[in-house]
């Protein structure tokens, strides 16, 4: 069986809710343009497939390692691309979306050069060529794609929410009528990202179009494994707040009618729409796939008969385009593709000297799109000098005041997360902010961490400064895909895009209480991941400075709020002021000492200080404040003076961040050491619930003091 049962029932057309509405007249699709882009896309697939087929005879540098054909998906995408004509439209797409990008202005030499890994293009040779992006300043853009199926959805919802924010809160009329479009195969409707973004789009009535290209196969798996009965449109017919269309993506007239109608309705403010069009997959899934074992010749043949290209030609010639004009378009396509191919093959290989650039922002080289501009950041300013005699306040209050001030001075700041709005967060850190700043700027989200982070990414690309709360550190688990993709976004687009977001994460043990869910620390995860700054303040003043630094910066930041410090005197400190900023990577020396350097951060700082005070003048205590980047120079200078080093942290000892510090010290300060570098941390057990158990695993004052003692006598 070539296709899931429902695919042949081509046009349920407008499903239930829209069936009653009068069909809009067919839009004025520019068919000449559609024909041109469909033919270009075909020609590009031909070139790549042909080259790869003849791999024995062609130069190695002409081969495309990750070759994905869009053959069969092309015509409908060309129609969709022709409808995205608002300068603030954005599409979020996937590896089979090249026809859409061509229709949105992707130059042919980029389209061919990037799959060859050449210099320039989407990623300057860093990413596979089907994982594209399109900055298009002043025109519709394509958000940076990712390799993970389903991850394209939630950033698109973030862009859609940003359209409303720009229009209604920042009062920028230029956003009126703009939409976000997301493309996915029928396999992707089984992913968390699809459902998360569908929830966002429908609950918030976002201007967002879901376009599902149903070719009946996810590599080899049939569509009825992805959604019951194999038809997501039918299954969503009763979903609230969603316009649903279903049809045949090989039929030009039906494709244009359904897509035009959906685009128009979303632009007019009727909320989100989903269009599912069936299309044939006319090639294998990707270059290396030979379809053996899951598709018979008869099935392949059956799909070949559904090729949209002959149908497009039959639709246009002679009714709208003469035979001569069609030939003329074909000639133009051959000429342009040939020129594009020569230009692509003439591109040099990327320069290896630059491969380490753009993991983080570079001051003088802003990304083309995403984050606050240099001018906005400079206008916000900031000072490294704290207020004299600021009144003491708790860490939770410090974060709240910082968020409030930044919301006041920067209209692009948004604060959100689960329970963050009406309640003020389960830790009450955002209490009162929604009352003061309104529910467009401070709001509750649906319960999807992938949604919270993916949405933030879309918002940051749209130039906003999203500050998301993950309710507890452990609950970042469902967001890891989005967090990881956010961290690599600048690098993999070679600085074309950036998504500087701030993620507040309360975690760590509570006051006399722990458990495996609410007490995880695990900060090393983001020190290990690419592209993240990681702040782990031990007190209110540092929290103010680091949070403000992140919110006025250009890199994504994980900001830890330790549960045992939020509302306790341990975490309290004098308020350092509304403009106080601490740069990342600058630790602080809390005690001077001659015989041992003790490096720590977060809640452990307070236990360590009490222990160090048992050895007056001997233990130098450094609070790192941020672990990515970390203050290597301060630690190394200190160890070269004291000759001993102990790292204390709450995260697991194995592969915890202490291992990184120990390795660095062992190498860089080896000749100054009088004792082995040591680590004291939780010994690889989850946080237990009963205080007796909790206290058995956490480093405490006595254990720290004992370890200091043994190192001093070594």
- Which residues participate in catalysis according to the annotation? 518
Q: Which residue has the tokens 């976004």?
A: 489
User: Is residue 479 a contact point for ligand TPP (CB under 6 A)?
Assistant: no
Give the residue with the Cβ less far from ligand TPP, 49 or 148.
148
Cα separation, 580 vs 548, whole angstroms: 7
Packed helices 153-164 and 192-203: angle between N→C axes, nearest 10 degrees = 20
Q: Which helix (H) or strand (E) holds 454?
A: helix 449-461
User: Is residue 693 a contact point for ligand TPP (CB under 6 A)?
Assistant: no
Ramachandran bin of 562, using left for φ above 0, alpha for ψ from -120 to 50, beta for the remaining angles: beta
Distance of CA 538 to the CA centre of its chain: 28
Q: Return the range that interacts with ligand TPP (CB under 6 A); candidates 144-152, 287-295, 302-310, 517-525.
A: 144-152
Nearest distance from residue 281's CB to ligand TPP, in Å? 6
Q: Which residue has the tokens 């031990």?
A: 538
- Per CB under 6 A, the list member of 48, 89, 109, 186 interacting with ligand TPP is 186
Nearest distance from residue 19's CB to ligand TPP, in Å? 26
Residues in the chain: 714
User: Is residue 187 a contact point for ligand TPP (CB under 6 A)?
Assistant: yes
User: Is residue 578 a contact point for ligand TPP (CB under 6 A)?
Assistant: no
Give the residue with the Cβ less far from ligand TPP, 232 or 333.
232
Comparing CA positions, the residue from 196, 523, 492, 478 lying closest to residue 370 is: 492
User: Is residue 478 a contact point for ligand TPP (CB under 6 A)?
Assistant: no
Task: Retrieve residue 33's tokens.
Answer: 């343009």
Cα separation, 243 vs 254, whole angstroms: 16
Q: Return the range that interacts with ligand TPP (CB under 6 A); candidates 127-135, 145-153, 238-246, 638-646.
A: 145-153
Task: Retrieve residue 602's tokens.
Answer: 């977060």
Comparing CA positions, the residue from 186, 122, 119, 109 lying closest to residue 149 is: 186
Give the residue with the Cβ less far from ligand TPP, 58 or 219.
219
Comparing CA positions, the residue from 702, 690, 621, 635 lying closest to residue 667 is: 635
Give the residue with the Cβ less far from ligand TPP, 185 or 370.
185
* Longest distance between any two alpha carbons in the chain, whole Å: 94
With DSSP H G I counted as helix, E B as strand and the rest as coil, what are the percentages for the chain, rounded to 5? Answer: 40, 15, 45
Cα separation, 136 vs 609, whole angstroms: 53
Q: Return the range that interacts with ligand TPP (CB under 6 A); candidates 179-187, 342-350, 493-501, 625-633.
A: 179-187
Beta bridge partners of 415: 442, 467
Nearest distance from residue 212's CB to ligand TPP, in Å? 9
Nearest distance from residue 449's CB to ligand TPP, in Å? 16
Residues 413-472 that bind ligand TPP (CB under 6 A): none
- Per CB under 6 A, the list member of 105, 120, 147, 643 interacting with ligand TPP is 147
Alpha helices in 204-322 (DSSP H): 232-235, 252-267, 297-304, 308-316
Q: Strands 90-92, 217-218: parallel, antiparallel or unpaired by DSSP?
A: unpaired
Q: Are 134 and 65 in contact (CB under 8 A)?
A: no
Other C-beta atoms lying within 10 Å of the C-beta of residue 401: 18
Q: Return the range that interacts with ligand TPP (CB under 6 A); candidates 5-13, 58-66, 141-149, 298-306.
A: 141-149
User: Is residue 96 a contact point for ligand TPP (CB under 6 A)?
Assistant: yes
- Per CB under 6 A, the list member of 188, 471, 521, 525 interacting with ligand TPP is 188
Give the residue with the Cβ less far from ligand TPP, 225 or 685.
225
Between the CA atoms of 429, 430, 436 and 442, what dihedral angle is there, to the nearest 10 degrees?
A: 170
Site string for ligand TPP, 591-630 (x = CB under 6 A): ----------------------------------------
User: Is residue 185 a contact point for ligand TPP (CB under 6 A)?
Assistant: yes
Nearest distance from residue 62's CB to ligand TPP, in Å? 24
Give the residue with the Cβ less far from ligand TPP, 188 or 638.
188
User: Is residue 219 a contact point for ligand TPP (CB under 6 A)?
Assistant: yes
- DSSP helix/strand/coil, 432: coil
Give the residue with the Cβ less far from ligand TPP, 35 or 212.
212
Q: Could you say which DSSP state residue 350 is in?
A: P
User: Is residue 562 a contact point for ligand TPP (CB under 6 A)?
Assistant: no
Nearest distance from residue 453's CB to ligand TPP, in Å? 15
Give the residue with the Cβ less far from ligand TPP, 131 or 535.
131
User: Is residue 148 a contact point for ligand TPP (CB under 6 A)?
Assistant: yes
User: Is residue 218 a contact point for ligand TPP (CB under 6 A)?
Assistant: yes
- Residue spans of beta strands (DSSP E) within 555-684: 557-562, 573-574, 588-591, 596-600, 619-623, 626-628, 645-652, 678-682
Other C-beta atoms lying within 10 Å of the C-beta of residue 383: 14
Cα separation, 119 vs 45, whole angstroms: 21
Site string for ligand TPP, 330-369 (x = CB under 6 A): ----------------------------------------
First CA to last CA distance, the chain: 74
User: Is residue 155 a contact point for ligand TPP (CB under 6 A)?
Assistant: no
Nearest distance from residue 447's CB to ligand TPP, in Å? 21
Q: How many residues bind ligand TPP (CB under 6 A)?
A: 15
Nearest distance from residue 58's CB to ligand TPP, in Å? 26
Q: Return the range that interacts with ligand TPP (CB under 6 A); candidates 183-191, 290-298, 338-346, 412-420.
A: 183-191
Nearest distance from residue 473's CB to ligand TPP, in Å? 23
In order of 163, 422, 431, 441, 443, the CA distances from 436 in angstroms are 22, 11, 10, 10, 12
Residue with the shortest CB distance to ligand TPP:
185
Give the residue with the Cβ less far from ligand TPP, 306 or 473.
306
Q: Are 185 and 94 in contact (CB under 8 A)?
A: yes
User: Is residue 215 a contact point for ligand TPP (CB under 6 A)?
Assistant: yes
Nearest distance from residue 213's CB to ligand TPP, in Å? 6
User: Is residue 149 a contact point for ligand TPP (CB under 6 A)?
Assistant: yes
Residues 511-530 that bind ligand TPP (CB under 6 A): none
User: Is residue 65 a contact point for ligand TPP (CB under 6 A)?
Assistant: no
Give the residue with the Cβ less far from ligand TPP, 191 or 642.
191
Cα separation, 532 vs 500, whole angstroms: 9
Give the residue with the Cβ less far from ligand TPP, 148 or 299.
148
Comparing CA positions, the residue from 467, 481, 479, 561 lying closest to residue 518 is: 561
Cα separation, 208 vs 269, whole angstroms: 10
Sign of CA dihedral 104, 109, 111, 113: negative
User: Is residue 506 a contact point for ligand TPP (CB under 6 A)?
Assistant: no
Residues 262-291 that bind ligand TPP (CB under 6 A): 285
Nearest distance from residue 512's CB to ligand TPP, in Å? 40
Nearest distance from residue 142's CB to ligand TPP, in Å? 16
Nearest distance from residue 84's CB to ligand TPP, in Å? 20
Give the residue with the Cβ less far from ligand TPP, 150 or 658.
150
Give the residue with the Cβ less far from ligand TPP, 80 or 628.
80
User: Is residue 217 a contact point for ligand TPP (CB under 6 A)?
Assistant: yes
Ramachandran bin of 647, using left for φ above 0, alpha for ψ from -120 to 50, beta for the remaining angles: beta
Comparing CA positions, the residue from 239, 222, 223 lying closest to residue 231 is: 223
Contact residues for ligand TPP, defined by CB under 6 A: 96, 147-150, 184-188, 215, 217-219, 285
């Amino acid at each position: 069986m070539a296709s899931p049962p429902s695919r042949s029932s081509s046009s349920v057309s407008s499903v239930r809710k829209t069936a009653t509405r009068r069909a809009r007249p067919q839009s004025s699709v520019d068919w000449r343009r559609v024909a041109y882009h469909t033919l270009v896309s075909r020609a590009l697939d031909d070139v790549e497939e042909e080259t790869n087929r003849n791999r024995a005879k062609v130069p190695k540098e002409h081969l495309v390692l990750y070759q994905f054909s869009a053959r069969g998906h092309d015509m409908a995408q060309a129609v969709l691309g022709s409808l995205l004509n608002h300068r603030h439209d954005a599409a979020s797409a996937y590896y089979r979306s090249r026809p859409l990008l061509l229709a949105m202005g992707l130059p042919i030499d980029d389209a061919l050069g990037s799959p060859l890994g050449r210099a320039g293009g989407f990623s300057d040779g860093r990413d596979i060529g089907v994982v594209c992006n399109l900055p298009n300043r002043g025109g519709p853009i394509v958000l940076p794609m990712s390799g993970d199926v389903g991850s394209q959805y939630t950033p698109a919802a973030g862009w859609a929410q940003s359209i409303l924010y720009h229009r209604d809160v920042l009062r920028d009329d230029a956003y009126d009528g703009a939409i976000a479009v997301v493309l996915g195969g029928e396999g992707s409707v089984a992913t968390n990202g699809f459902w998360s973004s569908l929830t966002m789009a429908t609950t918030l009535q976002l201007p967002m179009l879901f376009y599902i290209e149903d070719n009946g196969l996810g590599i080899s798996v049939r569509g009825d494994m992805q959604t019951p009965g194999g038809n997501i449109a039918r299954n969503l017919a009763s979903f609230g707040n969603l316009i649903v269309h279903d049809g045949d993506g090989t039929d030009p007239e039906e494709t244009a009618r359904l897509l035009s109608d959906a685009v128009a309705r979303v632009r007019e403010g009727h909320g989100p729409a989903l269009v599912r069009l069936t299309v044939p997959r006319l090639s294998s899934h990707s270059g290396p796939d030979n379809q053996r074992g899951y598709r018979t010749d008869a099935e392949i043949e059956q799909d070949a008969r559904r090729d949209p290209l002959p149908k497009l030609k039959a639709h246009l010639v002679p009714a709208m385009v003469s035979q001569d004009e069609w030939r003329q378009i074909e000639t133009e396509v051959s000429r342009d593709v040939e020129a594009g191919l020569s230009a692509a093959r003439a591109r040099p290989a990327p320069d290896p000297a630059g491969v380490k650039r753009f993991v983080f922002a570079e001051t003088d080289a802003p990304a083309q799109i995403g984050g606050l501009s240099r001018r906005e950041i400079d206008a916000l300013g900031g000072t490294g000098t704290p207020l004299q005699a600021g009144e003491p306040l708790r860490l939770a209050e410090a974060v709240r005041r910082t968020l409030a001030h930044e919301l006041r001075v920067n209209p692009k700041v948004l604060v959100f997360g689960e329970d963050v709005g009406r309640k003020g967060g389960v830790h009450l850190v955002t209490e009162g902010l929604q009352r003061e700043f309104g529910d467009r700027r401070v709001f509750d989200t649906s319960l999807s961490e992938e949604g919270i982070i993916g949405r933030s990414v879309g918002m940051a690309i749209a130039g906003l400064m999203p500050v998301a709360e993950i309710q507890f550190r452990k609950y970042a688990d469902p967001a890891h895909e989005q967090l990881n993709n956010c961290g690599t976004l600048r690098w993999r687009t070679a600085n074309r895009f950036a998504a500087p977001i701030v993620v507040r994460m309360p975690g760590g043990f509570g006051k006399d209480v722990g458990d495996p869910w609410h007490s995880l620390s695990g900060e090393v995860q983001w020190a290990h991941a690419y592209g993240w700054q990681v702040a782990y303040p031990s007190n209110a003043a540092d929290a103010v400075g680091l949070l403000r630094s992140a919110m006025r910066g250009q890199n994504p930041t994980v900001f830890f709020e330790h549960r045992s410090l939020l509302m306790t005197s341990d975490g309290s400190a004098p308020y350092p002021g509304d403009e106080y900023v601490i740069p990342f990577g600058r630790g602080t020396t809390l005690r001077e000492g001659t015989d041992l350097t003790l490096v720590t951060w977060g809640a452990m700082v307070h236990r360590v200080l009490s222990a160090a005070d048992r050895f007056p003048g001997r233990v130098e205590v450094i609070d790192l404040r941020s672990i990515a980047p970390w203050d290597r120079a301060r630690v190394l200078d200190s160890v070269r003076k004291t000759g001993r080093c102990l790292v204390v942290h709450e995260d697991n000892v194995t592969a915890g961040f202490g291992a990184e510090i120990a390795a660095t010290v062992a190498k860089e300060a080896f000749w100054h050491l009088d004792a082995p570098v040591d680590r004291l941390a939780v010994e690889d057990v989850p946080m237990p619930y009963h205080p007796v158990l909790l206290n058995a695993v956490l480093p405490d004052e006595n254990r720290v003091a004992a370890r200091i003692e043994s190192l001093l006598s070594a």
